[in-house]
Chains A and B, each alone.
Chain A
Amino acid sequence: MRAAIRVASLLSLIFTSGQALAGYQMNLSPGVTTFSQGAYEIHTLVLWICVVIGTVVFGAMIYSIITHRKSKGAVAATFDDNTTIEIVWTVVPFIILIAMAIPATRVLLAMEDVSNSDMSIKITGYQWKWHYDYNVGEKAEDISFFSNISTPDARSLATSMNVVKDENYLLDVDNRMVVPVNKKVRLLFTSSDVIHAWWVPAFGVKKDTIPGFINESWINVPEPGVYRGKCAELCGTNHGFMPVVVEAKSEEDYAAWVASQKTAAADVAASANKTWTKDELMAKGKTAYATNCAACHQANGEGLAGVFPGLKGSAIAIGDIARHIDVVIHGVSGTAMAAYAGQMNDVDLAAVITYERNAWGNNAGDMVQPSDIKAAR
């Protein structure tokens, strides 16, 4: 049985040394919520049961391989049946399975209890960004925003190398979802196009967002902090570039954040009423384009041959301005071009359209003001 012990110690070394090896993680993280800790506990339990069974089975196999070999003069036995032992190894696993099922059931039932929440947030998946809407339910706040990857250049072969790769590479967004700590926050999930999955490992929550349907889950984050995750269901070209970032704030900080969001919204509304210079529009348009449009049309405006049309020199981008505005804000039915009226504000839309008409050698020369967008909506 020396071999079995050796295997056991090797396996336990592999599984326990994870935390000791700095820099990367090898095991599930316990996370911060009761969900993620429940998942971690049951994961650890089942993993160890598997390790023990594996040790016994592999141990027996290795022993047999070493001992019962012809080169050592082993002569084959003639048995090919043993009812007793066969019953044992059918019944014993059954009992082990029951031992696993009981805690698993307990953890699961706790997770699915969504009642008595303190507030609700609606999370909508878009190709390829998240939308967070706080304007839901009794505690509704007039806050809603899109959350895009903070490094849109990472999404294309041509620009990927320009992106600084730090510890939060592909895990950072422009607008974080913010929640107060120690509140039961109900999360409602839906999608605007295909199925996505919203996942934050530290919360143990992974839920599909399904177009037309609503799913729910909840979180209650015990401590302030920033929690990161990703989209976990293949949702098209830029599936890999849809990070989720949730910031949990203390109650006071959360209230301050709510106030600041409202001020910011008012500022945006005000800026839509002023007349912008072309340089301002082009500067703003470049950023807005990178965030909202480059995923398909590419940063260089050339699109992807046969998949997404280019804008460089395209009839729409240098042609009739009204048609251009119409396409951007109302989308093109039956294609991947979504209606951006609900996804971007007047200033950003004006800036993006101006940028598209004057970048990469496009020489329409004209520009669009936020007021034009307002009129065209």
Chain B
Amino acid sequence: MNPNTSGEIDNKKIITRLLFAVVAMFGFGFALVPLYDVFCDITGINGKTGDQITLSETMKVDTSREIKVEFVASLNAEMPWEFRPVQKSVRVHPGEPTRIDYVAINKTDNRIIGQAVPSVAPGLAAQYFQKTECFCFTEQILEAKEQKIMPVIFVVDPGISEDINEITLSYTFFIKPGSEVISENVQEPPKTHYNN
């Protein structure tokens, strides 16, 4: 082999291959997004919970175990609602569907669209924490001064590790990105009286 004789053709081949690698790696960066979701489903990073499920008949209630589930509610900085769980915690048997409620109040004079983001701790419990009904599956619209009870029906899969006996379910309400506060009277602030 005499490398010095290899000229343009080789260069072109090299450039083509390397450019292909560059494009592939750029794509790989984006592929990490769905890959990460798969990875999260498996390992429970960040306690991401899955989509809506329908209860399977085969799921057995395991009455020998009891798991403490605690509920917390948070608001993103720009979200002016009030938001809290009605029940602070429940004890459930794995496999037993349970309903709890959250309540959200829009005390402003504007209609606001919110999106709740669920998260479960510990992360390893996330894939066993299944919801048949949840207000986080869709965006929530609260009219001015509206108060809304938002139910969650969940079941803890009996396959969950024996080591886990406490689970926290958290929701954070964000103002839906891109949805500004929608209201006819946004120009006209609420009437209050002042002491001058």
**What string of 1s and 0s marks CB contacts (under 8 Å) between B71-102 and chain A?**
01011111110100000110000000000000
Question: Which stretch (B19-27, B28-36, B185-193) binds chain A?
Answer: B185-193
Pairwise interchain contact A211-B122, C-beta atoms closer than 8 A: no
Contact: A322 with B190, CB < 8 Å?
Answer: yes
Contact B78 A338 (CB under 8 A): yes
B165 within 8 A of A: yes
How many residues from B make CB contacts under 8 Å with A? 42
Taken together as a complex, chains A and B put the C-alpha atoms of A224 and B149 apart, in Å, by 42
- A11: min CB distance to chain B, Å: 40
**Minimum C-beta distance from A192 to chain B (A):** 5
**Which A residues are in CB contact (< 8 Å) with B154?**
none
Residues of A within 8 A of B82 (CB): 342
Residues of chain B contacted by A366 (CB below 8 angstroms) = 194-196
A184-197 contact mask (Cβ, 8 Å, vs B): 1 or 0: 00101010110000
> In the complex, which residue of chain A has the Cβ closest to the Cβ of B187?
A323
Nearest to A275 among chain B residues (CB) is B195
CB-defined contacts of A334 to chain B, threshold 8 Å:
180
Once the chains are docked, how many angstroms separate the CA of A140 from the CA of B119?
20
**Judging by beta carbons under 8 Å apart, are A188 and B168 in contact?**
yes
**Are A368 and B194 in touch, CB under 8 angstroms?**
yes
Within 8 Å of chain B (Cβ to Cβ): is A309?
no
A residues 291-349 in Cβ contact with B at 8 Å: 320-323, 325-326, 329-331, 333-334, 338-339, 341-342
Determine whether the beta carbon of B121 is less than 8 Å from that of A214.
Answer: yes
B192 partner, pick from A113, A210, A216, A372, beta carbons under 8 A: A372
Does A136 count as interface, using CB distance less than 8 angstroms?
yes
Main SS of chain A's interface residues? loop
Does A124 sit within 8 A of B, measured CB to CB?
A: yes
Which of these, A120, A213, A329, contacts B47 with CB under 8 Å? A213
Shortest Cβ distance from residue A293 to the other chain B in the assembled complex, whole angstroms = 14
A106-139 at interface with B (beta carbon < 8 Å): 113-117, 120, 122, 124, 126-127, 133, 135-138
User: Residue A215 at the B interface, CB < 8 A?
Assistant: yes
**B164 CB contacts on chain A under 8 angstroms:** 115
Cβ–Cβ < 8 Å partners of B117 in chain A: 212-213
A365 adjacent to B196 (CB under 8 Å): yes
Shortest CB distance A362–B (Å): 15
Most chain A CB neighbours (cut-off 10 Å) among B78, B108, B165: B78
Sample of 29 A–B contacts (CB below 8 Å): A114-B122, A115-B163, A136-B72, A137-B89, A138-B70, A138-B88, A188-B121, A193-B76, A193-B77, A210-B46, A212-B172, A213-B172, A214-B72, A214-B168, A275-B195, A321-B192, A325-B189, A330-B80, A330-B108, A331-B77, A333-B181, A338-B77, A339-B80, A341-B107, A342-B82, A365-B196, A367-B196, A372-B193, A375-B192
Residues of B within 8 A of A (CB): 46-48, 68, 70, 72, 74-80, 82, 88-89, 107-108, 117, 119-122, 163-166, 168, 170, 172, 174-175, 180-181, 189-196
12 more A-B residue pairs beyond the given contacts A320-B189, A329-B80, A367-B196, with a C-beta to C-beta distance below 8 A: A137-B168, A138-B70, A186-B168, A188-B170, A211-B172, A213-B48, A215-B121, A216-B121, A325-B189, A339-B77, A342-B80, A365-B196
